[in-house]
Structure 1
Amino acid sequence: MSRLEGRKNEQLRTTHIKYEGLDRVDGSARFGFGETESLASVSGPIEVRPNSESPSQATLEVHIRPLAAIAGTDSKALSATLKSILIPALLLSQHPRTLVQIVGQALCGSESGAGYGSAGRGWHASLVASLINACSAALVNASSVPMKGVVCAVAIGRLRDPSSSLSSPTLVLDPSEAELSRLVGGGCFAFMFSSTLSKPLQSDADVPSSSLLWTNYTAMGGAFGDAEFEEARQLAENGATLVWQSFKDSLQNGQVSRPATELKKKALDEEPVDDEKMEI
Protein backbone atom coordinates (compact mmCIF):
# COMPACT_ATOMS: atom_id res chain seq x y z
CA MET A 1 0.00 0.00 0.00
CA SER A 2 1.43 3.35 -1.05
CA ARG A 3 1.77 6.22 1.41
CA LEU A 4 0.45 9.70 0.68
CA GLU A 5 3.94 11.19 0.28
CA GLY A 6 5.36 8.29 -1.71
CA ARG A 7 7.66 7.22 1.12
CA LYS A 8 8.50 3.58 1.76
CA ASN A 9 7.00 2.01 4.88
CA GLU A 10 10.38 1.97 6.62
CA GLN A 11 11.42 5.49 5.55
CA LEU A 12 11.65 8.49 7.87
CA ARG A 13 10.79 11.98 6.78
CA THR A 14 13.75 14.35 6.57
CA THR A 15 15.08 14.88 10.08
CA HIS A 16 16.64 18.17 11.11
CA ILE A 17 18.42 19.23 14.28
CA LYS A 18 19.28 22.81 15.11
CA TYR A 19 21.10 23.83 18.28
CA GLU A 20 19.40 27.11 19.02
CA GLY A 21 21.75 28.71 21.58
CA LEU A 22 18.86 30.38 23.42
CA ASP A 23 19.90 33.00 25.96
CA ARG A 24 19.79 32.31 29.72
CA VAL A 25 19.54 28.53 29.42
CA ASP A 26 22.36 26.01 29.46
CA GLY A 27 21.33 24.19 26.30
CA SER A 28 18.61 24.25 23.67
CA ALA A 29 17.73 22.46 20.46
CA ARG A 30 15.05 22.12 17.81
CA PHE A 31 14.23 18.70 16.34
CA GLY A 32 11.86 17.87 13.52
CA PHE A 33 10.54 15.05 11.39
CA GLY A 34 9.48 17.04 8.33
CA GLU A 35 6.85 19.54 9.50
CA THR A 36 6.54 17.88 12.94
CA GLU A 37 8.83 20.08 15.04
CA SER A 38 9.61 20.64 18.71
CA LEU A 39 11.91 22.92 20.70
CA ALA A 40 13.49 22.13 24.07
CA SER A 41 15.72 23.91 26.58
CA VAL A 42 17.77 22.69 29.54
CA SER A 43 18.64 24.71 32.64
CA GLY A 44 20.87 23.25 35.29
CA PRO A 45 22.23 22.14 37.51
CA ILE A 46 20.81 25.20 39.31
CA GLU A 47 19.58 25.99 42.79
CA VAL A 48 16.57 23.93 43.82
CA ARG A 49 13.66 24.83 46.09
CA PRO A 50 14.17 23.39 49.59
CA ASN A 51 10.98 21.30 49.44
CA SER A 52 12.18 19.66 46.18
CA GLU A 53 15.79 19.09 47.24
CA SER A 54 17.19 15.56 47.18
CA PRO A 55 20.37 14.83 49.17
CA SER A 56 21.40 11.98 46.87
CA GLN A 57 20.74 13.30 43.34
CA ALA A 58 19.61 16.23 41.26
CA THR A 59 15.89 16.87 40.98
CA LEU A 60 14.61 16.58 37.40
CA GLU A 61 11.67 18.67 36.25
CA VAL A 62 10.14 18.35 32.78
CA HIS A 63 7.53 20.80 31.49
CA ILE A 64 5.79 20.30 28.13
CA ARG A 65 3.92 23.16 26.51
CA PRO A 66 1.44 23.01 23.64
CA LEU A 67 1.70 25.18 20.56
CA ALA A 68 -1.02 27.47 21.86
CA ALA A 69 -3.09 27.84 25.04
CA ILE A 70 -2.10 26.91 28.58
CA ALA A 71 -0.67 23.50 29.42
CA GLY A 72 -3.50 21.26 30.62
CA THR A 73 -3.81 17.85 32.23
CA ASP A 74 -2.64 16.05 29.08
CA SER A 75 0.50 18.22 28.92
CA LYS A 76 1.28 17.45 32.56
CA ALA A 77 0.78 13.74 31.94
CA LEU A 78 3.15 13.90 28.96
CA SER A 79 5.67 15.80 31.11
CA ALA A 80 5.62 12.95 33.65
CA THR A 81 6.07 10.39 30.87
CA LEU A 82 9.07 12.20 29.38
CA LYS A 83 10.62 12.52 32.82
CA SER A 84 10.43 8.74 33.33
CA ILE A 85 11.92 8.21 29.85
CA LEU A 86 14.88 10.58 30.33
CA ILE A 87 15.87 9.61 33.90
CA PRO A 88 17.57 6.30 32.93
CA ALA A 89 19.88 8.21 30.54
CA LEU A 90 21.05 10.79 33.12
CA LEU A 91 23.56 10.53 35.95
CA LEU A 92 21.64 12.74 38.35
CA SER A 93 23.65 11.47 41.34
CA GLN A 94 26.61 13.58 40.16
CA HIS A 95 24.82 16.79 41.19
CA PRO A 96 22.87 16.23 44.43
CA ARG A 97 20.82 19.07 45.96
CA THR A 98 20.38 20.81 42.60
CA LEU A 99 17.70 21.15 39.93
CA VAL A 100 17.76 20.19 36.26
CA GLN A 101 14.85 21.72 34.38
CA ILE A 102 13.78 20.73 30.85
CA VAL A 103 11.12 22.65 28.95
CA GLY A 104 9.66 21.25 25.72
CA GLN A 105 7.54 23.24 23.30
CA ALA A 106 5.46 21.92 20.39
CA LEU A 107 6.06 23.93 17.20
CA CYS A 108 3.47 22.28 14.95
CA GLY A 109 -0.21 21.49 14.81
CA SER A 110 -1.80 24.21 12.70
CA GLU A 111 -3.29 21.69 10.25
CA SER A 112 -3.90 18.51 12.25
CA GLY A 113 -4.88 20.07 15.56
CA ALA A 114 -2.22 18.00 17.32
CA GLY A 115 0.18 20.01 19.43
CA TYR A 116 -2.59 22.14 20.88
CA GLY A 117 -2.97 19.90 23.92
CA SER A 118 -6.50 19.73 25.31
CA ALA A 119 -7.62 22.38 22.80
CA GLY A 120 -6.85 20.10 19.84
CA ARG A 121 -6.20 16.43 19.19
CA GLY A 122 -3.64 16.13 21.90
CA TRP A 123 -0.22 14.66 21.25
CA HIS A 124 0.14 12.20 18.40
CA ALA A 125 3.03 9.73 18.41
CA SER A 126 5.24 11.55 15.88
CA LEU A 127 5.02 14.78 17.90
CA VAL A 128 5.84 12.93 21.13
CA ALA A 129 8.87 11.41 19.38
CA SER A 130 10.05 14.83 18.20
CA LEU A 131 9.70 16.22 21.76
CA ILE A 132 11.78 13.36 23.19
CA ASN A 133 14.48 13.89 20.56
CA ALA A 134 14.49 17.67 21.11
CA CYS A 135 15.00 17.11 24.86
CA SER A 136 17.89 14.72 24.17
CA ALA A 137 19.50 17.17 21.75
CA ALA A 138 19.16 20.00 24.28
CA LEU A 139 20.85 17.85 26.95
CA VAL A 140 23.71 17.12 24.53
CA ASN A 141 23.96 20.83 23.75
CA ALA A 142 24.03 21.78 27.44
CA SER A 143 26.80 19.30 28.38
CA SER A 144 26.14 20.23 31.99
CA VAL A 145 24.39 17.03 33.04
CA PRO A 146 26.39 13.77 32.79
CA MET A 147 24.69 11.25 30.51
CA LYS A 148 25.14 7.50 30.17
CA GLY A 149 23.20 7.36 26.94
CA VAL A 150 21.14 9.26 24.40
CA VAL A 151 17.38 8.69 24.10
CA CYS A 152 16.05 8.57 20.54
CA ALA A 153 12.40 8.09 19.61
CA VAL A 154 10.28 7.42 16.54
CA ALA A 155 6.61 6.76 15.85
CA ILE A 156 5.03 3.69 14.28
CA GLY A 157 1.59 3.83 12.68
CA ARG A 158 -0.91 1.10 11.78
CA LEU A 159 -2.08 2.19 8.34
CA ARG A 160 -5.20 0.57 6.87
CA ASP A 161 -5.93 0.44 3.15
CA PRO A 162 -9.09 2.55 2.66
CA SER A 163 -10.15 0.37 -0.29
CA SER A 164 -10.37 -2.79 1.84
CA SER A 165 -11.74 -3.03 5.36
CA LEU A 166 -10.72 -6.69 5.67
CA SER A 167 -7.00 -6.32 5.00
CA SER A 168 -4.52 -6.31 7.86
CA PRO A 169 -3.05 -2.92 8.79
CA THR A 170 0.39 -2.08 7.40
CA LEU A 171 3.04 -0.85 9.82
CA VAL A 172 4.71 2.39 8.73
CA LEU A 173 7.55 4.39 10.24
CA ASP A 174 7.07 8.04 11.20
CA PRO A 175 3.48 8.75 10.09
CA SER A 176 3.02 12.32 8.91
CA GLU A 177 0.32 14.82 9.85
CA ALA A 178 -1.56 14.00 6.63
CA GLU A 179 -1.62 10.28 7.48
CA LEU A 180 -3.16 10.65 10.94
CA SER A 181 -6.75 10.23 9.72
CA ARG A 182 -5.86 6.87 8.09
CA LEU A 183 -4.25 5.35 11.18
CA VAL A 184 -5.92 2.59 13.19
CA GLY A 185 -3.42 2.59 16.03
CA GLY A 186 0.31 2.80 16.57
CA GLY A 187 2.50 4.58 19.06
CA CYS A 188 5.84 6.05 20.00
CA PHE A 189 8.92 3.96 20.81
CA ALA A 190 11.82 5.45 22.84
CA PHE A 191 15.23 3.73 22.92
CA MET A 192 18.39 4.55 24.87
CA PHE A 193 21.64 4.20 22.91
CA SER A 194 24.61 3.67 25.19
CA SER A 195 28.04 2.04 25.11
CA THR A 196 27.36 0.74 28.63
CA LEU A 197 24.77 -1.73 27.28
CA SER A 198 25.82 -5.20 26.19
CA LYS A 199 26.33 -5.39 22.44
CA PRO A 200 24.59 -8.17 20.51
CA LEU A 201 26.48 -10.33 18.05
CA GLN A 202 26.62 -9.24 14.40
CA SER A 203 25.73 -5.66 15.26
CA ASP A 204 27.02 -2.51 13.62
CA ALA A 205 30.31 -1.58 15.28
CA ASP A 206 29.66 2.15 14.72
CA VAL A 207 26.29 2.14 16.50
CA PRO A 208 26.08 1.63 20.29
CA SER A 209 23.68 -0.89 21.75
CA SER A 210 20.12 0.19 22.36
CA SER A 211 17.44 -0.69 24.87
CA LEU A 212 13.69 -0.06 24.64
CA LEU A 213 12.72 2.33 27.44
CA TRP A 214 9.06 3.02 26.71
CA THR A 215 6.25 2.63 24.22
CA ASN A 216 2.55 3.41 24.11
CA TYR A 217 1.84 1.22 21.07
CA THR A 218 -1.82 0.29 20.81
CA ALA A 219 -4.41 -0.93 18.31
CA MET A 220 -7.62 0.94 17.58
CA GLY A 221 -10.73 -1.18 17.94
CA GLY A 222 -8.96 -4.47 18.55
CA ALA A 223 -5.98 -6.34 19.93
CA PHE A 224 -2.65 -7.15 18.31
CA GLY A 225 -0.41 -10.17 18.68
CA ASP A 226 3.17 -10.63 19.80
CA ALA A 227 4.33 -10.98 16.18
CA GLU A 228 2.93 -7.58 15.25
CA PHE A 229 4.45 -5.91 18.30
CA GLU A 230 7.86 -7.42 17.57
CA GLU A 231 7.62 -6.22 13.96
CA ALA A 232 6.71 -2.73 15.19
CA ARG A 233 9.54 -2.75 17.73
CA GLN A 234 12.12 -3.79 15.13
CA LEU A 235 10.89 -1.18 12.66
CA ALA A 236 11.06 1.45 15.41
CA GLU A 237 14.56 0.41 16.49
CA ASN A 238 15.81 0.75 12.93
CA GLY A 239 14.25 4.21 12.73
CA ALA A 240 15.66 5.24 16.11
CA THR A 241 19.10 4.19 14.89
CA LEU A 242 18.71 6.64 12.00
CA VAL A 243 17.81 9.36 14.52
CA TRP A 244 20.91 8.51 16.57
CA GLN A 245 22.98 8.78 13.39
CA SER A 246 21.47 12.22 12.79
CA PHE A 247 22.61 13.26 16.27
CA LYS A 248 26.10 11.95 15.56
CA ASP A 249 26.28 13.75 12.21
CA SER A 250 25.13 17.03 13.75
CA LEU A 251 27.93 16.84 16.32
CA GLN A 252 30.59 15.84 13.79
CA ASN A 253 29.56 18.72 11.53
CA GLY A 254 30.17 21.18 14.33
CA GLN A 255 26.57 22.31 14.63
CA VAL A 256 26.65 22.46 18.45
CA SER A 257 26.80 26.05 19.66
CA ARG A 258 27.56 27.03 23.21
CA PRO A 259 24.78 29.03 24.89
CA ALA A 260 25.33 32.76 25.20
CA THR A 261 25.39 32.49 28.99
CA GLU A 262 28.59 30.42 28.86
CA LEU A 263 30.30 33.01 26.69
CA LYS A 264 29.32 35.73 29.13
CA LYS A 265 30.70 33.74 32.07
CA LYS A 266 34.09 33.47 30.40
CA ALA A 267 34.17 37.20 29.69
CA LEU A 268 33.04 38.37 33.11
CA ASP A 269 34.94 35.83 35.24
CA GLU A 270 34.46 37.14 38.76
CA GLU A 271 31.15 38.89 38.26
CA PRO A 272 28.17 37.14 39.86
CA VAL A 273 25.94 35.32 37.44
CA ASP A 274 22.16 35.58 37.71
CA ASP A 275 20.87 32.08 38.42
CA GLU A 276 17.39 32.90 37.21
CA LYS A 277 16.70 30.99 34.02
CA MET A 278 14.39 31.98 31.21
CA GLU A 279 12.10 29.21 30.03
CA ILE A 280 10.95 28.85 26.45
Structure 2
Amino acid sequence: MPRADGRTPHDLRPLRASVGELDRADGSGRFAFGPVAALASFTGPIEVRIREERVDAATLEVVHRPLEGIAGTSSRALVSTLEGVFAPLLALQAFPRALLQLVVQSLAPGYAPHPASLSDGRQVSWPPAEFTEAGAAAPLGASTFAARAAAVNAATLAALHAGSVGMRAVPFAVALAAVDGELLLDPSADEEAAATARFGFAWAFGTGISSAAGGMQLDGEEAEAELVWAEAEGEFSKDEFDAARDFSRAAAAEVLAFAKEELEAFFKR
Protein backbone atom coordinates (compact mmCIF):
# COMPACT_ATOMS: atom_id res chain seq x y z
CA MET A 1 0.00 0.00 0.00
CA PRO A 2 1.40 3.45 -0.90
CA ARG A 3 2.45 5.65 1.97
CA ALA A 4 1.22 9.20 2.66
CA ASP A 5 3.98 10.62 0.46
CA GLY A 6 3.38 8.11 -2.33
CA ARG A 7 6.40 5.90 -1.64
CA THR A 8 6.31 2.12 -1.50
CA PRO A 9 7.50 0.45 1.72
CA HIS A 10 10.93 -0.12 0.13
CA ASP A 11 11.54 3.45 -1.07
CA LEU A 12 13.93 5.98 0.40
CA ARG A 13 12.99 9.64 0.35
CA PRO A 14 15.02 11.82 -2.07
CA LEU A 15 18.65 11.75 -0.94
CA ARG A 16 20.79 14.88 -0.80
CA ALA A 17 24.49 15.09 0.02
CA SER A 18 27.19 17.73 -0.18
CA VAL A 19 30.67 18.32 1.17
CA GLY A 20 32.96 21.29 1.68
CA GLU A 21 30.55 23.93 3.03
CA LEU A 22 32.53 24.75 6.18
CA ASP A 23 35.77 26.66 5.73
CA ARG A 24 37.14 26.30 9.26
CA ALA A 25 36.98 22.51 9.42
CA ASP A 26 39.25 20.00 7.73
CA GLY A 27 36.17 18.33 6.31
CA SER A 28 32.42 18.84 6.29
CA GLY A 29 29.41 16.96 5.03
CA ARG A 30 25.68 17.44 4.82
CA PHE A 31 23.21 14.62 4.30
CA ALA A 32 19.43 14.41 4.10
CA PHE A 33 16.67 11.89 3.74
CA GLY A 34 14.03 14.21 2.28
CA PRO A 35 13.69 17.05 4.81
CA VAL A 36 15.55 15.24 7.59
CA ALA A 37 19.07 16.64 7.45
CA ALA A 38 22.31 16.88 9.42
CA LEU A 39 25.51 18.84 8.94
CA ALA A 40 28.85 17.56 10.27
CA SER A 41 32.40 18.85 10.54
CA PHE A 42 35.59 16.86 11.05
CA THR A 43 38.79 18.44 12.38
CA GLY A 44 42.14 16.89 13.18
CA PRO A 45 44.55 15.68 14.09
CA ILE A 46 45.08 18.73 16.30
CA GLU A 47 46.53 19.40 19.74
CA VAL A 48 44.69 17.72 22.58
CA ARG A 49 44.27 18.85 26.18
CA ILE A 50 46.73 17.07 28.46
CA ARG A 51 44.03 15.52 30.65
CA GLU A 52 42.45 13.93 27.56
CA GLU A 53 45.68 12.82 25.94
CA ARG A 54 46.13 9.15 25.02
CA VAL A 55 49.63 7.82 24.51
CA ASP A 56 48.52 4.98 22.23
CA ALA A 57 45.93 6.65 19.99
CA ALA A 58 44.16 9.85 19.09
CA THR A 59 41.32 11.08 21.29
CA LEU A 60 38.01 11.16 19.43
CA GLU A 61 35.72 13.95 20.63
CA VAL A 62 32.13 13.85 19.38
CA VAL A 63 29.77 16.79 19.88
CA HIS A 64 26.10 17.06 18.94
CA ARG A 65 24.41 20.42 18.56
CA PRO A 66 20.62 20.07 18.74
CA LEU A 67 18.32 22.14 16.59
CA GLU A 68 17.11 24.12 19.60
CA GLY A 69 18.11 24.52 23.24
CA ILE A 70 20.92 22.69 24.97
CA ALA A 71 22.07 19.13 24.47
CA GLY A 72 19.99 16.65 26.45
CA THR A 73 19.30 12.94 26.60
CA SER A 74 18.73 12.53 22.87
CA SER A 75 22.00 14.35 22.14
CA ARG A 76 23.92 12.12 24.53
CA ALA A 77 22.38 9.05 22.89
CA LEU A 78 23.41 10.28 19.44
CA VAL A 79 26.95 11.04 20.63
CA SER A 80 27.17 7.50 22.00
CA THR A 81 25.98 6.12 18.64
CA LEU A 82 28.53 8.16 16.69
CA GLU A 83 31.36 7.17 19.03
CA GLY A 84 30.38 3.52 18.69
CA VAL A 85 30.33 3.74 14.90
CA PHE A 86 33.46 5.79 14.24
CA ALA A 87 35.94 4.93 17.00
CA PRO A 88 36.56 1.38 15.65
CA LEU A 89 36.72 2.56 12.02
CA LEU A 90 39.03 5.59 12.21
CA ALA A 91 42.80 5.02 12.30
CA LEU A 92 43.13 6.47 15.79
CA GLN A 93 46.32 4.53 16.53
CA ALA A 94 48.13 6.45 13.79
CA PHE A 95 47.85 9.72 15.75
CA PRO A 96 48.78 9.25 19.42
CA ARG A 97 48.58 12.32 21.65
CA ALA A 98 46.33 14.12 19.17
CA LEU A 99 42.65 15.13 18.99
CA LEU A 100 40.08 14.32 16.33
CA GLN A 101 36.86 16.29 16.65
CA LEU A 102 33.54 15.38 15.05
CA VAL A 103 30.71 17.90 15.41
CA VAL A 104 27.18 17.17 14.17
CA GLN A 105 24.45 19.78 13.87
CA SER A 106 20.86 18.61 13.53
CA LEU A 107 18.80 20.44 10.91
CA ALA A 108 15.08 20.36 10.21
CA PRO A 109 12.50 21.43 7.62
CA GLY A 110 12.36 25.19 7.32
CA TYR A 111 15.40 25.65 9.57
CA ALA A 112 17.44 28.76 8.71
CA PRO A 113 20.54 28.87 10.93
CA HIS A 114 22.73 31.95 11.18
CA PRO A 115 25.07 31.57 8.19
CA ALA A 116 28.24 32.37 10.14
CA SER A 117 27.61 29.48 12.51
CA LEU A 118 27.63 26.99 9.66
CA SER A 119 29.60 28.25 6.71
CA ASP A 120 31.61 31.29 7.77
CA GLY A 121 29.45 33.80 5.96
CA ARG A 122 28.30 31.81 2.95
CA GLN A 123 24.55 31.55 2.52
CA VAL A 124 23.22 28.06 3.09
CA SER A 125 19.76 26.90 2.06
CA TRP A 126 18.70 23.47 3.26
CA PRO A 127 16.64 21.51 2.62
CA PRO A 128 15.94 22.48 -0.99
CA ALA A 129 12.62 24.12 -1.77
CA GLU A 130 11.25 21.02 -3.49
CA PHE A 131 10.98 19.20 -0.17
CA THR A 132 7.33 19.61 0.79
CA GLU A 133 7.23 17.89 4.18
CA ALA A 134 8.12 21.17 5.94
CA GLY A 135 5.32 22.21 8.22
CA ALA A 136 4.22 20.75 11.52
CA ALA A 137 6.90 19.92 14.05
CA ALA A 138 8.07 16.33 14.02
CA PRO A 139 6.19 14.28 16.67
CA LEU A 140 9.46 12.81 17.96
CA GLY A 141 11.63 15.88 17.41
CA ALA A 142 15.30 15.17 16.72
CA SER A 143 15.07 11.73 18.34
CA THR A 144 13.76 9.99 15.24
CA PHE A 145 15.83 7.11 13.94
CA ALA A 146 15.87 8.80 10.53
CA ALA A 147 17.55 11.85 12.12
CA ARG A 148 20.15 9.60 13.75
CA ALA A 149 20.85 7.87 10.45
CA ALA A 150 21.25 11.23 8.70
CA ALA A 151 23.74 12.28 11.40
CA VAL A 152 25.84 9.14 10.85
CA ASN A 153 25.87 9.72 7.09
CA ALA A 154 26.78 13.40 7.42
CA ALA A 155 29.65 12.45 9.74
CA THR A 156 30.89 9.89 7.21
CA LEU A 157 30.90 12.49 4.45
CA ALA A 158 32.78 14.94 6.70
CA ALA A 159 35.47 12.38 7.54
CA LEU A 160 35.85 11.38 3.89
CA HIS A 161 36.06 15.00 2.80
CA ALA A 162 38.75 15.72 5.41
CA GLY A 163 40.87 12.80 4.25
CA SER A 164 43.27 13.45 7.13
CA VAL A 165 42.61 10.20 8.98
CA GLY A 166 42.27 6.80 7.36
CA MET A 167 39.16 4.66 7.76
CA ARG A 168 39.17 0.89 7.47
CA ALA A 169 35.58 0.97 6.18
CA VAL A 170 32.92 3.54 5.28
CA PRO A 171 29.68 3.54 7.33
CA PHE A 172 26.22 4.51 6.11
CA ALA A 173 22.97 4.25 8.04
CA VAL A 174 19.23 3.92 7.45
CA ALA A 175 16.11 3.78 9.62
CA LEU A 176 13.09 1.49 9.47
CA ALA A 177 9.75 1.30 11.24
CA ALA A 178 7.09 -1.38 11.66
CA VAL A 179 3.66 0.16 11.03
CA ASP A 180 0.46 -1.91 10.85
CA GLY A 181 2.49 -5.08 10.44
CA GLU A 182 4.54 -3.72 7.53
CA LEU A 183 8.23 -2.81 7.55
CA LEU A 184 8.82 0.69 6.15
CA LEU A 185 12.19 1.95 4.98
CA ASP A 186 13.23 5.53 5.85
CA PRO A 187 10.08 6.35 7.84
CA SER A 188 8.73 9.87 8.15
CA ALA A 189 8.34 11.34 11.62
CA ASP A 190 4.62 10.55 11.56
CA GLU A 191 5.36 6.94 10.60
CA GLU A 192 7.89 6.59 13.41
CA ALA A 193 5.36 8.05 15.87
CA ALA A 194 2.76 5.49 14.76
CA ALA A 195 5.18 2.55 14.68
CA THR A 196 5.06 -0.45 16.97
CA ALA A 197 8.84 -0.76 16.53
CA ARG A 198 11.61 1.48 15.22
CA PHE A 199 15.04 0.41 14.00
CA GLY A 200 18.34 2.03 13.11
CA PHE A 201 21.24 0.24 11.42
CA ALA A 202 24.60 1.32 10.01
CA TRP A 203 26.74 -0.84 7.77
CA ALA A 204 30.43 -0.19 7.15
CA PHE A 205 31.53 -1.02 3.63
CA GLY A 206 35.09 -1.91 2.67
CA THR A 207 37.31 -4.78 1.62
CA GLY A 208 38.60 -7.43 4.00
CA ILE A 209 36.43 -6.37 6.95
CA SER A 210 34.11 -9.38 7.16
CA SER A 211 33.44 -12.72 5.56
CA ALA A 212 30.12 -11.64 4.05
CA ALA A 213 30.19 -9.77 0.75
CA GLY A 214 27.94 -6.75 0.46
CA GLY A 215 27.54 -6.90 -3.30
CA MET A 216 28.98 -3.39 -3.89
CA GLN A 217 31.97 -2.43 -5.98
CA LEU A 218 34.36 -0.16 -4.09
CA ASP A 219 37.41 1.04 -6.02
CA GLY A 220 37.12 -1.91 -8.36
CA GLU A 221 36.74 -4.53 -5.65
CA GLU A 222 33.68 -6.13 -4.14
CA ALA A 223 32.88 -4.34 -0.90
CA GLU A 224 32.08 -6.31 2.21
CA ALA A 225 29.63 -5.07 4.82
CA GLU A 226 29.98 -5.06 8.59
CA LEU A 227 27.14 -4.10 10.95
CA VAL A 228 28.42 -1.24 13.14
CA TRP A 229 25.18 0.16 14.59
CA ALA A 230 22.00 -1.65 15.53
CA GLU A 231 19.36 -0.04 17.70
CA ALA A 232 15.68 -0.81 18.19
CA GLU A 233 12.73 0.42 20.25
CA GLY A 234 9.23 -1.00 20.68
CA GLU A 235 7.75 -4.48 20.46
CA PHE A 236 9.14 -6.90 17.91
CA SER A 237 10.16 -10.53 17.51
CA LYS A 238 13.60 -11.85 16.63
CA ASP A 239 12.35 -12.63 13.13
CA GLU A 240 11.12 -9.05 12.72
CA PHE A 241 14.46 -7.69 13.92
CA ASP A 242 16.36 -9.98 11.55
CA ALA A 243 14.14 -8.90 8.64
CA ALA A 244 14.77 -5.24 9.44
CA ARG A 245 18.51 -5.84 9.69
CA ASP A 246 18.66 -7.66 6.37
CA PHE A 247 16.47 -5.02 4.72
CA SER A 248 18.74 -2.27 6.04
CA ARG A 249 21.85 -3.74 4.49
CA ALA A 250 20.62 -3.38 0.93
CA ALA A 251 19.29 0.10 1.69
CA ALA A 252 22.61 1.21 3.19
CA ALA A 253 24.36 -0.04 0.06
CA GLU A 254 21.98 2.15 -1.96
CA VAL A 255 22.97 5.16 0.18
CA LEU A 256 26.65 4.27 -0.30
CA ALA A 257 26.23 4.20 -4.08
CA PHE A 258 24.53 7.60 -4.02
CA ALA A 259 27.18 9.14 -1.77
CA LYS A 260 29.97 7.73 -3.91
CA GLU A 261 28.53 9.42 -6.99
CA GLU A 262 28.23 12.74 -5.15
CA LEU A 263 31.80 12.56 -3.84
CA GLU A 264 33.22 11.61 -7.22
CA ALA A 265 31.43 14.58 -8.81
CA PHE A 266 32.79 16.92 -6.11
CA PHE A 267 36.41 15.80 -6.40
CA LYS A 268 36.31 16.05 -10.21
CA ARG A 269 35.54 19.77 -10.06
TM bracket (short chain) = 0.7 to 0.9
Structure 2 unaligned segments of length 5 or more: list them: 111-134
Deviation at 1:244, TM superposition (A): 0.7
Give the RMSD, CA atoms, in angstroms: 2.1
- Which one of 137, 156, 163 corresponds to residue 143 of structure 1? 163
CA distance in 2, matches of 1:200, 1:82: 24
CA contact (8 A) 1:112 1:178 kept: no
1:214-225 mapped onto 2 (5 Å cutoff): 214-219=229-234, 222=235, 224-225=236-237
Deviation at 1:48, TM superposition (A): 0.1
Deviation at 1:180, TM superposition (A): 3.1
What is the TM-score normalised by the length of structure 1?
Answer: 0.80
CA distance in 2, matches of 1:130, 1:244: 13
Inter-CA distance 89–67: structure 2 relative to 1 (3 Å threshold)? same
1:153 matches 2:173? yes
CA distance in 2, matches of 1:195, 1:148: 8
Inter-CA distance 145–205: structure 2 relative to 1 (3 Å threshold)? closer
Question: What are the superposed Cα offsets for residues 146-198 of structure 1, whole Å, 9 maximum, x if unpaired?
Answer: 111111000011112xxxxxxxx100100023423322221211111111224
Larger relative contact order (Cα-Cα within 8 Å, sequence gap ≥ 6): 1
Identity percentage of aligned residues: 36
CA contact (8 A) 1:191 1:213 kept: yes
Counterpart residue number, 2:27: 27
- Which one of 108, 114, 123 corresponds to residue 143 of structure 2? 123
Deviation at 1:8, TM superposition (A): 1.3
Deviation at 1:202, TM superposition (A): 9.2
CA contact (8 A) 2:199 2:244 kept: no
Structure 1 unaligned segments of length 5 or more: list them: 161-168, 258-280
What is the TM-score normalised by the length of structure 2?
Answer: 0.83
SS at match of 1:216: strand
SS at match of 1:228: helix
> What is the total number of aligned residue pairs between the two structures?
242
Counterpart residue number, 1:263: none
Deviation at 1:2, TM superposition (A): 2.5
1:247 matches 2:259? yes
CA contact (8 A) 2:138 2:190 kept: no
Counterpart residue number, 1:194: 206
